[in-house]
């Protein structure tokens, strides 16, 4: 455990060491990219003689973290192929987050995405081509489904298009049986009526994926995520799921007067390190999907734009963890 006060210890403190035949990720080691921003930060801190902070950031640099793919940021065939080749040579599995759906993030801090449906399909085709040799683990479009359920995306045409594009992404990426796809399903505190999430997951064809992903870039405890995930799984005939534990070591931020609980909240901690050996049936992996230390957006004093490395916040997360 790396928690500084997490309440998820009963579920995660004693994972089994056996290979699980029902888990497609069982026994896999996830790729630690030596060029990740945390490693670069460590090198700079050491060059500056700041060994204490460098040791803290190593808690992040030494762990496998997902590479986020978006147009203009690692989404080409050559880039994906190079990433998966490097992972294969290291005897590891690359974890990637596909994040480029049209109308992404409803114009908020991480707004953007492909210009239209045709551009998105071409982007998915590029990634699929890069996965032909080795495959990898794909977290598909964080927030895309929840934003169709919380009113953020309200146009019926855009909703229908989004579901069709997610379905296209699943089937296209899964043409390589070595590629494992988990479509994002929000987090335990977001869409309370999980039956609506179940319906949406069915519409995008989650049964053709390897399952769904929970808690991406969020702070819900592992216990809460497992409970919510089990409800979804039961209604989806046993679909498996993965959980982002990158920053959930202290659970969610509970300051009621703060409207930005999800955006760089203070007092959080790194969570359980990535592993496919969760010891929990149906939970294929704990992953660090969000890069701990990357900003959620320019929402607090000193916070950089979404996706940019923020040493101060990374140190807060690391120092709150063991």
What is the pLDDT at residue 196?
97
Is 69 within the bounds of a domain? yes
Share of the chain above pLDDT 70, in %: 93
Work out the angle at residue 281's Cα, subtended by the Cα atoms of residues 220 and 1, and round it to the nearest 5 degrees: 50
118 within some domain: yes
Residue 18, pLDDT score: 53
Residue 219 has pLDDT above 80, yes or no: yes
For tokens 């969000």, the residue is 290
Cα–chain-centroid distance for residue 120?
20
Residue whose entry in the numeric block shows the structure tokens 């953020």: 152
Inside any domain, residue 304: yes
- pLDDT tens-digit profile of 13-72? 333 445 788 999 999 999 999 999 999 999 999 999 999 999 999 999 999 999 999 866
pLDDT at 97: 97
Q: Does 2 have pLDDT greater than 70?
A: no
Q: What is the largest CA-CA distance in the chain?
A: 56
SS3 for 312? Answer: helix
The answer to the question of residue 177 being in a domain is yes
Under the banding of pLDDT at 50, 70 and 90, the label for residue 8 is: very low
Give a yes or no: residue 1 inside a domain. Answer: no
Q: In sequence order, what DSSP letters do the residues of 232-289 get, joined into one string? A: HHHHTTS--EEEE-TTBTT-----TT-S-TTSS-TT-B--SPPBS--SSTTEEEEE--
pTM for this entry:
0.92
Average pLDDT taken over every residue of the chain? 91
Question: What per-residue confidence (pLDDT) applies to 81?
Answer: 96
Residue 2 falls inside a structural domain: no
Position 205 scores a pLDDT of: 98
Domain of residue 282, CATH code: 3.20.20.40
Domain that holds residue 70: 9-319
Smallest Cα–Cα separation from 282: which of 221, 205, 216, 228? Answer: 228
The encoded tokens of residue 319 equal: 């120092």
Strand, coil or helix: 178: coil
Domain count, the chain: 1
Cα dihedral across residues 81, 87, 88, 89: positive or negative: positive
Amino acid 160: pLDDT: 97
Q: How confident is the model at residue 73 (pLDDT cuts 50, 70, 90)?
A: low
Catalytic residues: 143
Per-residue pLDDT tens for 155-182?
999 999 999 999 999 999 999 999 999 9
The per-residue pLDDT for range 110-140, each reduced to its tens digit, is 778 999 999 999 999 999 999 999 999 999 9
On the question of pLDDT at 147 being above 90, the answer is yes
* 61 part of a folded domain: yes
The tens digit of pLDDT for each residue in 240-263 reads 999 999 999 999 999 877 778 899
4 is a domain residue: no
> Residue 10: which pLDDT band, with cuts at 50, 70 and 90?
very low
């Amino acid at each position: 455990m790396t928690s500084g006060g997490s309440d998820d210890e009963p579920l995660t403190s004693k994972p089994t060491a056996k290979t699980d035949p029902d888990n497609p990720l069982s026994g896999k080691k996830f790729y630690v990219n030596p060029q990740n921003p945390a490693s670069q930060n460590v090198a700079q801190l050491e060059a500056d003689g700041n060994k204490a902070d460098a040791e803290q950031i190593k808690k992040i640099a030494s762990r496998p973290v997902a590479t986020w793919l978006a147009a203009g940021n690692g989404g080409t065939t050559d880039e994906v192929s190079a990433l998966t080749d490097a992972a294969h040579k290291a005897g590891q599995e690359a974890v990637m987050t596909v994040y480029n759906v049209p109308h992404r993030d409803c114009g908020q801090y991480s707004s953007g995405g492909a210009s239209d449906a045709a551009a998105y399909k071409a982007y998915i085709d590029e990634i699929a081509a890069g996965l032909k040799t080795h495959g990898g683990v794909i977290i598909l479009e964080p927030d895309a489904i929840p934003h169709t359920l919380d009113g953020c995306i309200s146009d019926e045409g855009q909703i229908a298009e989004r579901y069709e594009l997610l379905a296209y992404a699943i089937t296209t990426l899964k043409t390589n049986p070595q590629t494992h796809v988990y479509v994002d399903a929000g987090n335990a505190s977001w869409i309370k009526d999980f039956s609506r999430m179940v319906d949406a997951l069915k519409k995008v064809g989650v049964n053709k994926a390897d399952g769904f992903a929970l808690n991406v870039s969020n702070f819900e405890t592992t216990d809460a995520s497992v409970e919510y995930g089990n409800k979804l799984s039961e209604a989806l005939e046993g679909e498996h799921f993965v959980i982002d534990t990158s920053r959930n070591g202290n659970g969610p931020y509970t300051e009621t007067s703060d409207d930005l609980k999800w955006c760089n909240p203070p007092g959080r901690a790194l969570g359980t390190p990535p592993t496919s050996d969760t010891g929990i049936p149906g939970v294929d992996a704990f992953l660090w999907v969000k890069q701990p230390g990357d900003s959620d957006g320019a929402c607090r004093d000193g916070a950089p734009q979404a996706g940019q490395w923020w040493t101060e916040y990374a140190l807060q997360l690391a120092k709150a963890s063991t």
